[in-house]
Structure 1
Amino acid sequence: MLFILHSLGCTLSGFYSKVQFALLVMVGLMWFTAYSQSSDKEIFQSTITNPDTRLLQLKNKYNQAFDKQDFVLAAQLLQQMGQLCYHYGHYPQALEFHLQANNLFKNQHQTELLAYNLNDLGLLYYYNRNLKLAKLQYDEALHIFQNKHNDLGLAHTFGKIGHLYEKQEKYDSALYFQRKAINYYKKIDNQTGIAKIYENLGSIFEDLAQYDSAHYYFSQSLKINQVTHDQLAQIEVLNNLGDVLRKTGAIKQGLTYSKEALKLAQKLHEKYQEASAYRDIARALNMLGRNDSAYYYLEVSRKMTLDIYSEKSNQQIAVLQVMYDIAKKNNEIERLDNISRTNQILGISGVIVIALLIILGFVVINRQKMKIKNQHYINEQKQKVFEKEQDLMAAALKNKQLEEENLKNLLETKTKELSTHTLHVIQKNQLLEKLYQRLEEIVKDDRKNSQRNLRQIMQDINQSFDHDQYWEDFRNIFDQVHQSFLTKLKNHSEQLTANDLRLIALLKMNLNSNDIASILGISPDSLRVIRYRLRKKLNLPQGENLSTFIQSL
């Protein structure tokens, strides 16, 4: 309906001063606030005559419900008082009533009633220009209705969310949520809801200047309202149709709709709608060049708006006076109740304090006795635990000593095995060397047949120097005796061969060069060459002794 105010301002600029225009805009905004949501019109219509009386009735019923501890009914009455205050523009008190209702609904686990109240809160936050909080209320209500599978609640909430997006000029989102709303209304065949959503869709398309679509949806809304005999809703739709037709150039046809809205408003004694219809007629006549008639209708609208404003102000003053009286009375009752409760509390507290002192003395004495008894018991338990710990420590120490002794014996055994094995290899190689020398002498004999056989024997003996099964046993025993030796060795070089490792193991055992050469089946000169190559692989600096280095690992 904001476009009504804009058009009104354009028309008034030719007839009235800026002061008069500001007054009418303020009154128009008050009218828009009261009638922006058709779902709330019934409450407004039923309370417009005696709002102060109605507020007193609701307050009395609330007190009765609270005395009976019917908190669900009390919350519903708070919600109605909030709706009443909202319609008369007293938003802070309306917000307070709705928040109190929210707390009661939550405490009583009335989630669906809470959701409807959240929608009312969302509307309040919207008119206080707190769009973020309004959206949060709608989202929470939507979540509740989805969990409860409440199609009517979902339709109602989707419509409010769409209306919120429309006022933010987010028309794609507005259309999306309005269409979701109409789908739910159609699902439950709620004709009144369908008519309202058609009207909302028409308003969106009118804002988008898509007047054909706007005219279609307004017409559909009017048809449904005529079938359901919702005359109050018809007035607003007729006004919207008149606006759309004027914007598309069909001024006379639009004027017909405005006059029809005027007749219906007069019939229902709807002063807000009647004043709006007069303004629309004045606009149409101005566009047709009939300025005298336009001035007449605009003057009637102005006087009626001023009367409405005056009447509304008086009603608001009456409502505020009633609220003040109620608050004053409640404060007095609360003060007397507090005094009475304070006296009762003081008397009861005196008795309780005396009783507590007696109980406290008894408890202190018993506690002291129990403390002494418990301390004696704890000391006994500590002594037992200490003795058991001593026994366990002695047993653990004995086990440790046995374990160390076993390891020592095992190490000695392995060392003996390694020494025996090494000695065996030395003896075997010495024997093989003697045999090799004897066979070498036989080979020098000129007999060819024996010469060929003996050469074969020499070749087999020579191969046995490098492929002896005892080397594997030797390495296993060596690894057991020197467990971390090979790991440390690999940190210095990763290029060591199996022959290198054999030489290093023999050096680790402190064998002399002749014994090492005999075990490896090589000459002392070859051993020197191998030692030189090993030094290079281990990156030993010149002058550092190879055997000393290996012994340090």
Structure 2
Amino acid sequence: MTKYLITLLFFLHLTELNAQPTSDSLKNVLRTYQTRDSVRADLLNQLSYNNWIVDPVKAEALSREALQIAKDQSYLKGMAMANRSIGVANWAQGNYEEGLDVLLTALSQYQLLKDTLNIANVKMNTGLIYHEQNSFDEALRYYEEALSTFQQLNRPKRSANTLNHIGELYQKQGLIDLAKSKFNEAFSISVAEDYRYGKSTALSNLGMLFQLSGHLDSALIYTNRAIVIQNQTNDLNGKASNLYNLGIIYMKKGDYQLADLYLQKSLKEAELISSKKLKRDIYLKLKQLAKDRGNYQQALEYAELYNIVKDSLFNAEKLREFVRLENRYELEKNAQELKLKEQEVSLLKRDSQISALWRNLLIVGILAVIIISYFIYSRQRINIKRKKELFEKNEEIYRANEALSQAELENARLKEIELNQKIEFKNKELTSYTLNFIQKNELMEEVKSSIDELKKTQDQETIRKLNALKKTVSSSVHIDKDWQDFKRQFEEVHSNFFSVLKGKYPDLTNNELKLCALLKLNMNLKEAATVMGISPESVKTARYRLRKKLGLGREDNLVEYVISLEDDIA
């Protein structure tokens, strides 16, 4: 009881000062207050909030502890805030699917609490998730609903944050003038309110805008101003993004040494906040930088790191649709639970009113009290029985739906494994066929060369017979037939490759399409020459003409470009 009073007085003191509790003061209170109740849940949630932009990994851990305590105490407000914090922390780390799931849960909980401000806060946070997933219309809808509420409630700082997010959304869509207008509006509000986070975010966004539009000196000024504020506020997430932006600016200016320095600094910050998306982008730029500097071994290492992070994000992306369906089911289930709770509250209120009425009538007589008491007892038994039956029915429906969802997920996983095995088998078949194709033609060429050597040392009759043999060998090299067989095998693995390539570049000849297929398989000059039945020098000439038709410059890699066409086909 003493600890509870100390904690209560602490929060009252903060309220009088109209100040947010600092992380150090919250840690001190948490060390002394170990009771797992709603007070500790609020302390953990507040400490998590203080770490949103400083250390999202730590913020998530704190809110998960708060969520468990709030669930144990049936403390709805604590659960809502914990879910919101977990959602924001996952957004900062690039875990968008889990972030969206818990944010939608928080939204339904705040709607039950009828907390208008926090409903708007969660909508703004949810808009961030849809923004990152390029669901622009959905993101803008959430942003505008949140902004309207913040303006009605006279919350200028929250309005500034939302305006910054709307500007980022417009910038991502290429609407530069609209984006700049929103950033400037957010900056003006933040200056008027002396809101450092809002100012640094607006400056960061303007720096990015100038970088993208090629105004590099202006971009440097705005980005460095933002970093100064972020160092003061310990905004690790914003600082990591701005260091990355500085790296890109110096790459564009041709200062590779400074570009590498800032990209490496950004990578360290991204590691601290566990941002997979930012790490992926940094590795890609470091690969390009190493390639431009002629360090191809280092470029290859960065490319491998980039692919590891990219694959991790891609695998999570494949689960997005399943998670959204699951979220829809959870929302429907939550709505049903809320309706049942409202019905229970209504029933309890009605029972309370009836009980109060009969208590006032106790004066009438003992007989009336007995009859009324029996009536109330009977009604309560019926209500309890109905509630129990309803609960058991809902529980049965939930278990059935959960089993169905698990079965569908397992089925999808097995289908994916089967598809990957088929693709791997087809690739092996294609590789085997290509090697046999090359070995056959090489063998025929060796036989023909041997015949030419024998002709130099033989009489005319033998030479005549050798010429006939050479003609027979030459006729066995069915380039066109072999190519048709190869094309059929190739298209079984890379379906629509030729049709998409022909649609994108209609002027390509059949031989150029054939060369593209060999480049797709990463064949060298000698192998390609063997398959095509021409000399390596002719292959070089054909590759040069193909580069011109594809519109590639000297710095572009022909093989990498042809291989990358797989993404266009997908």
Q: TM-score range by the shorter chain?
A: 0.3 to 0.5
More relative contact order, 1 or 2 (CA 8 Å, 6+ apart): 1
Provide TM-score, normalisation by structure 1: 0.44
Relative to the length of structure 2, the TM-score reads 0.43
Q: Larger Rg: 1 or 2?
A: 1
